[in-house]
Amino acid sequence: MKTEQIKMLISQMTLEEKAGLLSGLDFWHTKPVERLGIPSTMVSDGPHGLRKQDDKADHLGVNDSIKAVCFPAACATTSSFDPELVRTMGEAIGESCQHEKLSVVLGPAINIKRSPLCGRNFEYCSEDPYLAGKMAAAYIQGVQSKNVGVSVKHFALNNQEHRRMSSSSDCDERTMREIYFPAFETAVKEAKPWTIMCSYNRVNGVFASENRWLLTDVLRKEWGFDGYVMSDWGAVSDRPAGVHAGLDLEMPASGGINDEKIVAAVKAGTLDEKDVDLCCERILNIVFRYTENAKPETPWDQEAQHALAADIAADCMVLLKNEGDILPLAKDAEAAFIGEFAEKPRFQGGGSSHINCFRTTSALEAARKAGLKVTYAQGYSVLKDEATDAQIAEAVAAAKAAKVAVVFAGLPDSYESEGYDRTNMDMPACQNRLIEAVAAANPHTVVVLHNGAPVTMPWIDRVEAVLEAYLGGQAVGTATVRVLYGDVNPSGHLAESFPLRLQDNPSYLFFGGEARATEYREGVFVGYRYYDKKEMDVLFPFGHGLSYTTFEYSNLRLSAEEIRDTDTLTVTATVKNTGKRFGKAVAQLYVGDVESDAIRPVRELKGFAKVALQPGESAEVTFTLDKRSFAVWNEKIHDWYVESGKFTIQVGGSSRDLPLCGCVCVESTTELPTVYTMDSIFMDLMADRKSRAVFEPVMKKLRETFGGDEEKSEAAQEAVSDDMGTAMMNYMPLRGMASFGADRNTVAMIEAMLKQLNG
Ligand code: BGC
């Protein structure tokens, strides 16, 4: 429907009808206005499949939803580093939405993984905003290609579950812009999501649901978002303030209470009716975009999607360790599958994303179906969270009797979920004990992990291989068996760092915060940005992922040695499969500022490409870098800014394995506004090209005045060498000259210089 027609409709609505439209009909529907032909539309969780509920709905999944297909969660899909794969998944979800008459799927969830502890990390993409943004955009493009919308959530700074509905995420401007916003920004700019969901928390004291800076200035005016913003379920505190801020739709219904408050505020003159009209317009635009393109006859082939879920899961798995190339297993290898997860895998997280699967396939079932020689021992009980001596003895016997022991371990449901955070990074003690016992019984032990976030691995040196399967969706068992036995060569790479211990994590001291707020004191140093800066050992670095083949990186070429920040730089490199199997490499490009005033990470991901290569085959990967690839957020100009100078360009297969390195000089075209005063120090005056030109001759004269160029006595030289003198002078403010004996003429000269500089 055209904007004019929508505006016309709104002009026919009463204030009460308009206010009513701004909150849900119930848990999952928008309100209709029947007399004007405005239909009600349904939204439903996501993100990795449908959780469509009936009328007796509750949003945390206690009530059953329809049978659906559970795809791998974002912790897994992001590890694929494969936007095409995620786009395909999005298309499948979009088709199921059309089939089920859903206008919007509530996802993707793209908050940054600030700490391994966040209960919803399994649902989120990455600790890196560039990667999270690109993967989110692909998902959105996939879903929306089917003419249904997404709701990108939770905007913004919802990085913990602890006190999620009240806590303030207190964060400086630069950190928000560089770490916590870009995934949303990329999603909006590259994929035009139909809706955005605001988060529960406050941002620097103001609830996201009533934060005009967030929802209007940044989201709409800066990034160009043109859909509607809905609240997270129950995130509204002051509804009229939310309307003014740009929160269009309150979800779920507020029983009419908040609608009345909107009406009252308009009547009292504290809320402009134009704000109400604008929210209506944005909601109706999407309502009609869906209804006019609805295709409920779209088939939903769940069997085909189950198969797709297996294909996707296999391409997401990350081979963390593979000593002695124990993997892949030979098809006739006698293997003991140990651990209850082999039979009942954990493949999705708890809370609003929980899907009622029409089928699940375990690794045990898949292996038996494929005729593989596997035995099984339960090893531990997930429900009781224990491994009895008898269970361990049985597992040890099975491990001894087999050539290879494969332990399926990880985090039980209760360990990570929406609604609360973990308190530590450890796996259940019973599972760690089991792995130790099995590894002692059989030197060829492999661990398959089902978890949504990093765990500690006290047994890592005693097992030969670790396959991180994450929460791989309902067909995870099929995918696991394909990877273990080499039908699929693993190609996932970590979208997050695995620290050695929780205490190493940069947010460790402040995560969770105090009652009022959680302070983001580590700033931009999140994940690898911190571990790399501090040169710390990690268990597994960001971007890490092994393969059954080997890749070689060579021939790095940059399109220029020097560019201006308005230019783009093309970087190419060659990746070769030097092993004996078909495989997929993930080439990663990191940019680092060699010398900068801003305190910056050593390197930041600014490009990646997944390439499929036959043995012996090479391919060229190409990356395009632009201003944003080099820029920092400058709080002086409230904008992106590139500091002129040299930048490193590193390419390779992980953040800690970057064999290729080149350099480019970037020149800034933005001049920072600088005002010099008597308090300005020599160093700053000398650092800037323009001020140096004025200051240098003055400096020369000053030296003559103070006799700085005369030969010094030996004693004087010993007390303060020339180098020391220069170093000390660096920090001298101009006014210091007067204190150290400058006469009135000199001071007048400095004042004249300042006039010229600021002129
Ligand atoms: C969650 C959202 C979810 C909504 C509806 C909230 O509790 O934070 O992610 O989409 O419920 O179920």
pLDDT value, residue 56 = 64
Output the domain CATH number for residue 382.
3.40.50.1700
Of 618, 639, 667, which residue sits at a domain end? 667
What's the start-to-end Cα distance of the chain, in Å?
55
Ligand 1 atom at minimal distance to the Cα of residue 59: 12
137 CA to centre of ligand 1 in angstroms: 20
Q: Which residues in 272-286 are b (16+ Cβ under 10 Å) and which e?
A: ebebbbbbbbbbbbb
Tell whether 172 and 275 lie within a shared domain: yes
160 CA to centre of ligand 1 in angstroms: 14
Contacts of 649 (CB under 8 A, 6+ apart): 556, 558, 569, 571, 589, 590, 591, 625, 661, 662, 663, 664
Work out the average pLDDT over 105-126.
Answer: 98
- Percent of the chain whose predicted confidence (pLDDT) is above 90: 89
pLDDT value, residue 559 = 98
Q: Is there a domain that residue 546 lies in?
A: no
Active-site residue flag, 259: no
Torsions phi, psi of 87, nearest 5?
-60, -40
Residue 172 vs residues 514, 515, 668: alpha-carbon distances, Å: 17, 19, 24
Work out the average pLDDT over 454-465.
Answer: 98
pLDDT of 690 > 70? The answer is yes
Measured distance CA(280)–CA(275) in Å, rounded: 9
pLDDT in tens, 317-327: 999 999 999 99
Tell whether 369 and 445 lie within a shared domain: yes
Measured distance CA(600)–CA(591) in Å, rounded: 11
**Is residue 591 in contact with ligand 1, taking CB distance under 6 Å?**
no
Work out the average pLDDT over 370-396.
Answer: 97
Ligand 1 atom at minimal distance to the Cα of residue 200: 8
419 CA to centre of ligand 1 in angstroms: 10
Closest residue by CA, ligand 1 atom 12: 59
Reported in sequence order, the residue ranges of 332-386 that DSSP labels E, i.e. its strands, are 335-338, 356-357, 374-377
Strand partners, 450: 410
Work out the average pLDDT over 366-371.
Answer: 98
Closest residue by CA, ligand 1 atom 8: 232
pLDDT value, residue 650 = 98
Among residues 128, 170, 232, 532, which one is catalytic?
232
Residue 759 vs residues 46, 679, 687, 689, 753: alpha-carbon distances, Å: 58, 17, 19, 16, 10
**Is residue 111 in contact with ligand 1, taking CB distance under 6 Å?**
no
Tell whether 412 and 326 lie within a shared domain: yes
Angle between the N-to-C axes of helices 83-99 and 302-316, in degrees from 0 to 180, rounded to the nearest 10: 160
pLDDT of 9 > 80? The answer is yes
pLDDT value, residue 511 = 97
pLDDT of 13 > 60? The answer is yes
Write out 63-82 in H/E/C secondary structure: CCECEECCCCCHHHHHHCCC
Of 248, 265, 291, which residue sits at a domain end? 291
pLDDT value, residue 211 = 98
Work out the average pLDDT over 705-729.
Answer: 69
Closest residue by CA, ligand 1 atom 6: 233
Q: Is there a domain that residue 538 lies in?
A: no
Q: Is there a domain that residue 417 lies in?
A: yes
**Is residue 113 in contact with ligand 1, taking CB distance under 6 Å?**
no
Residue type, 683: M
Tell whether 275 and 149 lie within a shared domain: yes
Q: Is there a domain that residue 297 lies in?
A: no
pLDDT value, residue 737 = 80
Q: Is there a domain that residue 224 lies in?
A: yes
Give residue 356's pLDDT band: very low, low, confident or very high (50, 70, 90).
Answer: very high
**Is residue 106 in contact with ligand 1, taking CB distance under 6 Å?**
yes
Vertex 373 angle, CA 369 and 374, to 5°? 85
pLDDT of 719 > 80? The answer is no
291 CA to centre of ligand 1 in angstroms: 24
**Is residue 634 in contact with ligand 1, taking CB distance under 6 Å?**
no
Looking at every residue in the chain, the average pLDDT score rounds to 95
Work out the average pLDDT over 417-427.
Answer: 97
Tell whether 657 and 697 lie within a shared domain: no
499 close to 531: Cβ distance less than 8 angstroms? yes
Tell whether 146 and 169 lie within a shared domain: yes
118 CA to centre of ligand 1 in angstroms: 15
pLDDT in tens, 270-314: 999 999 999 999 999 999 999 999 999 999 999 999 999 999 999
Our mutation pick for probing the ligand 1 site, out of 26, 27, 45, counting the most ligand atoms within 8 A of Cβ, is 45
56 CA to centre of ligand 1 in angstroms: 16
**Is residue 120 in contact with ligand 1, taking CB distance under 6 Å?**
no
Closest residue by CA, ligand 1 atom 3: 352
Which pTM was predicted? Answer: 0.96
- Give the SS3 label for residue 330: coil
pLDDT value, residue 59 = 62
Tell whether 427 and 399 lie within a shared domain: yes
pLDDT of 266 > 90? The answer is yes
Of 241, 265, 291, which residue sits at a domain end? 291
Closest residue by CA, ligand 1 atom 7: 233
Residue 50 vs residues 61, 107, 353, 483, 723: alpha-carbon distances, Å: 12, 10, 8, 27, 68
pLDDT of 687 > 90? The answer is no
Tell whether 661 and 689 lie within a shared domain: no
**Is residue 152 in contact with ligand 1, taking CB distance under 6 Å?**
no
Output the domain CATH number for residue 565.
2.60.40.10
Give residue 744's pLDDT band: very low, low, confident or very high (50, 70, 90).
Answer: confident
- Give the SS3 label for residue 17: helix
**Is residue 352 in contact with ligand 1, taking CB distance under 6 Å?**
yes
Measured distance CA(391)–CA(344) in Å, rounded: 16
pLDDT of 443 > 60? The answer is yes
pLDDT of 745 > 90? The answer is no
Work out the average pLDDT over 87-100.
Answer: 98
pLDDT in tens, 147-201: 999 999 999 999 999 999 999 999 999 999 999 999 999 999 999 999 999 999 9
**Is residue 153 in contact with ligand 1, taking CB distance under 6 Å?**
yes
Number of domains in the chain: 4
Ligand 1 atom at minimal distance to the Cα of residue 106: 10
pLDDT in tens, 128-147: 999 999 999 999 999 999 99
Give residue 696's pLDDT band: very low, low, confident or very high (50, 70, 90).
Answer: confident
Q: Which helix (H) or strand (E) holds 365?
A: helix 363-369
Domain interval for residue 728:
682-758
Tell whether 438 and 559 lie within a shared domain: no
Tell whether 126 and 250 lie within a shared domain: yes
**Is residue 233 in contact with ligand 1, taking CB distance under 6 Å?**
yes
366 close to 477: Cβ distance less than 8 angstroms? yes
pLDDT value, residue 718 = 75
Output the domain CATH number for residue 157.
3.20.20.300
**Is residue 151 in contact with ligand 1, taking CB distance under 6 Å?**
no
Give residue 63's pLDDT band: very low, low, confident or very high (50, 70, 90).
Answer: low
pLDDT of 60 > 90? The answer is no
Give residue 708's pLDDT band: very low, low, confident or very high (50, 70, 90).
Answer: low
Tell whether 557 and 695 lie within a shared domain: no
Q: Is there a domain that residue 140 lies in?
A: yes
747 CA to centre of ligand 1 in angstroms: 65
For the chain, give percent helix, strand, coil, nearest 5. 35, 20, 45
Tell whether 643 and 721 lie within a shared domain: no
Q: Is there a domain that residue 619 lies in?
A: yes
**Is residue 51 in contact with ligand 1, taking CB distance under 6 Å?**
no
491 CA to centre of ligand 1 in angstroms: 31
Q: Is there a domain that residue 540 lies in?
A: no
67 CA to centre of ligand 1 in angstroms: 19
Closest residue by CA, ligand 1 atom 9: 352
**Is residue 201 in contact with ligand 1, taking CB distance under 6 Å?**
no
pLDDT in tens, 575-612: 999 999 999 999 999 999 999 999 999 999 999 999 99
pLDDT in tens, 491-504: 999 999 999 999 99
pLDDT value, residue 50 = 96
**Is residue 158 in contact with ligand 1, taking CB distance under 6 Å?**
no
Our mutation pick for probing the ligand 1 site, out of 209, 232, 249, 417, counting the most ligand atoms within 8 A of Cβ, is 232
Work out the average pLDDT over 677-697.
Answer: 89
216 close to 245: Cβ distance less than 8 angstroms? yes
pLDDT value, residue 321 = 98
Ligand 1 atom at minimal distance to the Cα of residue 151: 10
